[in-house]
């Protein structure tokens, strides 16, 4: 009887240890995903800040016109497959977008994993003096089955 109690105790202890190991592995995977979401948020906020600081606010029409200059691949309705006018990679905004996809040779190893140029979009809506800027950044981490997207919207006035 004592031997059976000892074996049941060992079995329960092993189940507890296996459960903790499984939770640890899952938390490590979620931690990596959180890191990529945070990085995407930092890149997107940097883009919004760059646009906001670089526009000409002398009049409403010049503000709208200068905002339109920041559009990057504004076309495409399919998720993470954008197209249209591209920004020069030598412009300040182009450099941030290049860094976000890990294509900056000056800082290798940085950027979002699996990010491509067609997965980056900056859309400007100036209708009705809205001056809305939407930034979308897509990436696919090593353990992701589908592309992830980070989207941020800001109003520039």
pLDDT in tens, 62-91: 999 999 999 999 998 788 999 998 888 889
State in Å, rounded, how far the first CA of the chain is from the last one: 79
State yes or no: pLDDT of 29 exceeds 80: no
> How does pLDDT run across 86-106, given as a tens digit for each residue?
888 889 999 999 999 988 777
- What b-and-e string marks burial along 33-52, b requiring 16 or more CB atoms within 10 Å of the CB? eeebeebbeebbeebbebbb
């Amino acid at each position: 009887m004592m031997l059976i109690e000892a074996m049941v105790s060992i079995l329960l202890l092993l189940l507890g240890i296996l459960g903790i190991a499984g939770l640890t592995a899952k938390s490590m995977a979620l931690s990596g995903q959180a890191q990529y979401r945070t990085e995407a948020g930092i890149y997107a906020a940097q883009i919004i800040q760059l646009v906001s600081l670089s526009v000409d606010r002398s009049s409403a029409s010049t503000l709208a016109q200068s905002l339109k200059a920041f559009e990057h691949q504004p076309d495409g309705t399919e998720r993470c497959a954008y197209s249209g006018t591209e920004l020069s990679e030598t412009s300040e905004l182009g450099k941030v977008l290049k860094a976000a996809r890990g294509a900056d040779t000056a800082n290798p190893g940085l950027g979002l994993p699996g990010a491509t140029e067609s997965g980056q979009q900056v859309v400007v809506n100036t209708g009705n003096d809205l001056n809305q800027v939407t930034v979308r950044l897509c990436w696919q981490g090593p353990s992701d089955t589908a592309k992830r997207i980070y989207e941020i919207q800001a109003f520039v006035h």
